[in-house]
Amino acid sequence: MMSSVLSVNVFTAPEKEMVGDRARPFGPPPAFDPSTSTLIFGDEDAVLVDTLATVAEAEALADWVALHHRNLTTIYITHGHFDHYAGLSVLLQRFPDARAITTPKSWELMRAQSHLMPLFRKRWPGQLPARIVLPEAYDDEVFTLEGHELRIIEQGRTDAVDTTSLHVPSIDLVVGGDVFYNQCHMYVGDTTPESRANWIAALDRLAALKPKIAVAGHKKPGAPDTPQAIEESKRYLADFGRLQESASSDRGLYDAMTELYPDWVSHQAWLMFGFQ
């Protein structure tokens, strides 16, 4: 039974400064991209997609969710990168009845990368929750909100391995996870031509759904949640592949990419050389 019409709201946490081990030879001081969480809600209930990373972000997000006066039934985590689930314990403390889920493969990645948490704590000293809670592995590809289907789309390797997006057909919504970004330089440094081909196929899969609303996991604050971000992410991957081949140095690649995308959030453009 579909009695209600679903709505969607997006919370954007701003860029956060990062403590590095050494100064970078060029570019702005390193920071981490602005990140989004998406609330999908009906008359009574709500689903939250991704939970941000720091305590401050997660608490602000929990306050914002509470303002919607809905029962938070499910928290869905799109992929196994810490910036999308480290805040989960804060959300679950505020909404203990919510069920937090992710795909079995993303759960595996979270487990496998738990040894990286001390590194992240070094990058954001005193800012991440003391206790990191993982969502449970959810085996089905569909869950529901007031009778509406929310469909998990397995995307394979994009900016992480075994990533997903979420599709809500009844409102033509796609929550991309990190399969597309919106006016932020993308985490392309650990990609290969093959993985970028898979990434582009993942973007085509989303475009084929013809979404009206498309929410990126990382977006410039204020950027509209339109499917244009899917097309721009495709272009970015193609530009990076081309310029990486022709660039004579890291500096040259960095300058060429930031020149092509002058208005995009660039503090995280260092990720074109991998996470360091």
For residue 249, the minimal CB distance to Zn ion (Å) is: 27
Q: Which is nearer to Zn ion, 178 or 232 (CB)?
A: 178
Binding mask of the shown chain, residues 62 to 91, with x at each position contacting Zn ion by CB under 5 A: -------------------x-x--------
CB 21 within 8 A of CB 54: no
The reply to whether 162 sits near Zn ion by the rule CB under 5 A is no
**CA–CA separation, 200 and 180 (whole Å):** 10
Angle at 202 between CA 234 and CA 238, to 5 degrees: 25
For residue 209, the minimal CB distance to Zn ion (Å) is: 21
Q: Which is nearer to Zn ion, 253 or 271 (CB)?
A: 271
**CA–CA separation, 71 and 44 (whole Å):** 6
Phi-psi region of 19 (alpha: psi -120 to 50; beta: other; left: phi over 0): beta
Of 162, 178, 225, 232, the residue at the interface with Zn ion (CB under 5 A) is 178
**CA–CA separation, 98 and 46 (whole Å):** 10
For residue 136, the minimal CB distance to Zn ion (Å) is: 21
For residue 57, the minimal CB distance to Zn ion (Å) is: 13
Among 133, 158, 115, CA closest to 53:
133
**CA–CA separation, 219 and 66 (whole Å):** 23
Query: Where do we find the tokens 């709505």?
Result: 7
Binding mask of the shown chain, residues 89 to 128, with x at each position contacting Zn ion by CB under 5 A: ----------------------------------------
With CB under 5 A as the rule, give the number of residues binding Zn ion.
Answer: 4
The reply to whether 232 sits near Zn ion by the rule CB under 5 A is no
Query: Which residues form the interface with Zn ion (CB under 5 A)?
Result: 81, 83, 178, 217
